[in-house]
Structure 1
Amino acid sequence: MERHEKLKPFSLLDQAWIPLHYEGTRLWVTYQQLLCGEKKGKLCLPRDDLELAGVQLLVAITQVCFTPADRKELLARLKKPLSTDEFLKGVKDKKDWFDLNHPVTPFMQIRGVKASKSTPMDKLLAGVADGTNKPFVNPHGLAEGLCGSCTAIALFNMANNCPSMGGGFKGSLRGSTPITQLITEPVTQLITEPDLRRTIWLNVLHQERLSNIVMPWYQATAQQAPNYVDPVKAGEKIRATNIGLARGLLWQPAHFELLPAEDTGCCSVCNVTAPLYKGFNKAKFNYTVEGNWPHPLSARTFKIVKGKKEEKFPSFTTTAPGWTQLSRLVVAMESSKEGQIPAPVLLQIRDDGLIKQKHLRFVIGGYRNNQATVLERRHEFFSLADGWAEHGEVIHYIIKTGLAYKTALRKALYLFSEGIKDKNKEIKGSGVNLCQSGDDLYFQQTEQWVRDSFADINFKEPLPTIDCLRVQLKQTVLELFDQLTKPYRQEPKMLKALALARRSLNKSLAELQAVVTEEN
């Protein structure tokens, strides 16, 4: 333990570790300067996933140290920065939790991890060390050495948002690659750039909501420490309802221990000159969590299976854009068989009126993975017009409409490839599978229209916006069909398949129009 006692502290509570961009300049500020309003700006990191995780980490620290008593106190925090005395009082008993080099309870680490060899830092950056395309996407040496700021964010991100490191390593409390949702402040004439301090408070839950709605066991578990401070026993079975707020937000599912930072150098991620961490030790550690912990920044879906409620957190499982999942992220629905619960911070915004503007702006992020391998990083912004909270059926209908036109195109392209064969008719397909290309192009060309529809729609009178969207989607589908099949029009053996596909597309589009006419 002696070598750790000699390490220079790197505390997230008083070190200048937060990179901000303000009026064309990047500056590094302390957590106190940020919450006390002494410095402001927008978080500035070169990777979108680390930027999202950085905000998420700041929200977690704030939620743990400064949980407001009620709506009134939360509104006061949004309006006015903390005083120095308020800040020092809030962090007083938490200083040992947030020191990256603490000799006994280092942030998100366990002391004394035994490993046959150290692990390079690229394993802490999702998608850098794995994947067949890594040499083309990630330049050589991207994670050769990380500063304390990037290391702390990467540790937190790995624990909360990334797939586990493979067999024997546990994943986060929310599963493998959950979607994280953060409320951001709507941009107005008076607010031209979101204020990071206010963004943090918009994603903090107050005690009344925690105790009465989100986490009925909040008070009983309020004194719990993170599991890297008060470790889990090997093989232990833990009920999710026994995990307190601080313990859950700062949950570390694996046993990691950073090797001491070496000589000063240039951080491979943010380019700041600082002492660099170049490796860590890791070890497998087994335990079981029973049930789902209600994370404040995540929506949940559930199904009733054999009389039992089975919950899970939405994740990115396909290349489809985030708007296809928007309904389950913002609309609360429940039936006798299934349901969906938006993120607690979104429901708090809906119910408590924390912002004067009635429209909602938020960001979602996460990863698409195949087991331990990250296939794709996702980071998307959304804006919902005034009325979103009362008109979930309109949101659902827009998503349904967007997917229906995509399905019409895919069905036609499938018939072009496979043809048909039944008792009365046989048409040989082309054998050319264009379905995935059609899906990808459709989403690329229509995504902005769908986003604009959500942002600009009058939810009380939605038909003009929806009708305009339908026209755009129909035209796109027709153009994409012609574009994708054009190379095969001169092949006589493919003409019948092409005619079959065209008839299918026309029929599907006519049926979609008939539904519209009937609804009107």
Structure 2
Amino acid sequence: MHLLEDSWIPARRRNGRRDWIAPTQLSDPGIVAFDADRADFNGALMQFAIGLLQTTAPIESRTDWKRFLTAPPDTQTLRDWFAPVAEAFELDGDGPRFMQDATLASEASAINPVSALLIESPGENALRNNSDHFVKRGRLDGICPGCAATALFTLQTNAPAGGVGYRTGLRGGGPLTTLLLHQSPASLWQDVWLNVTERPQHLERCGDANRNGVQFRFPWLTDVASLQPGGELAPAQVHPDHIFWATPRRIRLDFDNVAHGACDLCGSESDRLIRQFTAKNYGLNYKGAWDHPLSPYYEVKGEWLPLHPQPGGMGYRHWLAWVLGQADAKSKQRPARIVTHALEWRRRQLGGALRLWAFGYDMDNMKARCWYESSLPLYGLGECAGKEALKSVSATVETWLAGAQQAVFYLRSAVKAAWFGGDARGDFSAIDAEFWQRTETAFYTQLRQCIETVRQNESADPDMLESRQAWHHALRSAALDLFDTTFVGAGPIERQKPRRVAEAHRQLVNSLNGKKMREVLRLPAADKPAASRGKPATADV
């Protein structure tokens, strides 16, 4: 099976029908999205397509890039682009195999069931200890070559820790990926192409462009030892293309012991169902300043590290850091390089309103706790005139998020006080999650207005007092309503302590209207109640 010539990629056509396509059909205007049966497969296929085009497309300028966005290349053009790298995309056969270690054919290595290619599958310890309670063993017996190729790429791209010598990917285990998509995509091609950079920018970013040998781009075309003679692999030792084709795991699919039947993942009939693979530890050991263009990074002691999904999911609280970057007292984060490049250099070339697709595994070492994905709208941010406009939006949103962080802290503290009357320990993440969800609509409503203001007039100041006051009202209303109707007021009355609840509620009201909250949102001080003078007036009887 050849991954550049055969039809193995599940895709959804405009009429809703699923089809299997070859990479040379990526520019078909009738295809709108990848359509795998697993969410992580769709994310991996998107990265496969981006990496393939970034590796082969001869785009030297923004003019070239814009031309192919509006007039996609035909099938023959794509075939010509892919031809020079064809040897790296054979999935089976006696020669080099896609993302597989050729030396395992002759070395003694462990035999694994094909289900072990899936990141959430229970490991050896879980099976030995009979602790596979939620993700059971034996779910898969055989998968078709297409699903095997996708599973292999997914594992190599997201590779979590897997025991002694079983390496993580160059972004660590379970990295966060953020991609640009059109808000209303015309085709899959347009979404993929948004995330491809002009060749000169790609080559100067991470790696040594003078290392043109195919083994420096596609590491499975040579053996591990020759590529990292010192036991570690740094960016300067390989070509920049390598960043899309990292292979930290030594794996070889078994095409000798196949079966006939329906694929346990996609349901397709195949006479070559793959049932097992061999694996060995001590694959490529990625060290150094790797800078993947599809991931946001955070700074620790002067070193930039890739972000990973965390418990609590994804939402508007991540919007600023993942779109424009954020630097505060606690952390400094920057967006994925492709996001920054698109917003700062392509601007009005992007072709309409955008959104950010964020996804990845929340990993606890070798355990997959959850798969997260979310779409964060960017509205017309890509059409803003320049960097100053982006700075205006960034400063405005930073104030809003600081206010939201303050409000959710007050709410959490008040709920804990009402429940326990003091400093209680435990997992109170449900309070935060409800607050962020409750205020999401208000945030995006104001964000859209903010971006529209700047898009129409770059010199306009979107950080108006009225918008900060409206946001303060939304935060205050959400916090009080959640306290009254969801967390405290909804509890059984016989289990409540009215005095404690009343004191917690009063403190919440005072905090939400207090000096600290107004300083964070840069609001004027609250009016003090007028002091009463003389005797109170008596009512008419």
Tell me the TM-score range normalised by the shorter chain: 0.7 to 0.9
Contact 1:144 1:268 in 2 (8 A): yes
Q: Identify if the C-alpha distance between structure 1 residues 447 and 124 changes in structure 2 by more than 3 Å, giving closer, same or farther.
A: farther
Which of 66, 71, 79 is the matching residue for 2:70?
A: 79
Tell me which residue corresponds to 1:318.
Answer: 311
1:248 matches 2:253: no
Tell me which residue corresponds to 1:484.
Answer: 487
Point out where structure 1 has 5 or more consecutive residues left out of the alignment. Answer: 1-9, 188-192, 421-428
Tell me which residue corresponds to 1:148.
Answer: 145
Tell me which residue corresponds to 2:413.
Answer: 411
1:29 matches 2:30: no
Aligned equivalents of 2:498, 2:72: Cα separation in 1: 69
Aligned equivalents of 1:203, 1:278: Cα separation in 2: 35
1:96 matches 2:87: yes
Aligned equivalents of 1:336, 1:451: Cα separation in 2: 25
Tell me which residue corresponds to 1:384.
Answer: 378
Corresponding letter in the other structure for 1:408: Y
Q: Identify if the C-alpha distance between structure 1 residues 144 and 504 changes in structure 2 by more than 3 Å, giving closer, same or farther.
A: farther
Deviates more, 1:335-344 or 1:406-415: 335-344
RMSD: 3.1
Aligned equivalents of 1:448, 1:126: Cα separation in 2: 34
1:221 matches 2:215: no
Alignment partner of 1:166: what SS?
coil
1:163 matches 2:160: yes
The normalised TM-score by structure 1 is: 0.84
The normalised TM-score by structure 2 is: 0.81
How many residues end up aligned between the 2 structures? 488
Q: Identify if the C-alpha distance between structure 1 residues 311 and 220 changes in structure 2 by more than 3 Å, giving closer, same or farther.
A: same
Deviates more, 1:385-394 or 1:370-379: 385-394
Contact 1:174 1:292 in 2 (8 A): no
User: Sequence identity of aligned pairs in percent?
Assistant: 20
| Alignment map for 1:255-294 (pairs within 5 Å) | 255-260=250-255, 262-274=258-270, 275-285=272-282, 288-294=285-291
Q: Identify if the C-alpha distance between structure 1 residues 108 and 331 changes in structure 2 by more than 3 Å, giving closer, same or farther.
A: same
Aligned equivalents of 2:285, 2:110: Cα separation in 1: 27
Alignment partner of 2:375: what SS?
strand
Contact 1:118 1:279 in 2 (8 A): yes
Tell me which residue corresponds to 1:119.
Answer: 112
Q: Identify if the C-alpha distance between structure 1 residues 31 and 236 changes in structure 2 by more than 3 Å, giving closer, same or farther.
A: same
Alignment partner of 1:208: what SS?
helix
1:299 matches 2:296: yes
Aligned equivalents of 1:330, 1:433: Cα separation in 2: 32
| Alignment map for 1:352-371 (pairs within 5 Å) | 352-353=346-347, 355-357=349-351, 359-371=353-365
Aligned equivalents of 1:173, 1:440: Cα separation in 2: 31
- Residue-by-residue CA offset, 1:453-511 (whole Å, 9 max, x unaligned): 4445445435555544443332221122123223264347x344323322321222112
Contact 1:453 1:466 in 2 (8 A): no
Alignment partner of 2:487: what SS?
helix
Deviates more, 1:116-125 or 1:58-67: 116-125
Q: Identify if the C-alpha distance between structure 1 residues 122 and 324 changes in structure 2 by more than 3 Å, giving closer, same or farther.
A: farther
Tell me which residue corresponds to 1:7.
Answer: none
Corresponding letter in the other structure for 2:20: W
Deviates more, 1:379-388 or 1:451-460: 451-460
Tell me which residue corresponds to 2:507.
Answer: 504
Alignment partner of 1:396: what SS?
helix
1:201 matches 2:193: yes
Aligned equivalents of 1:148, 1:456: Cα separation in 2: 48
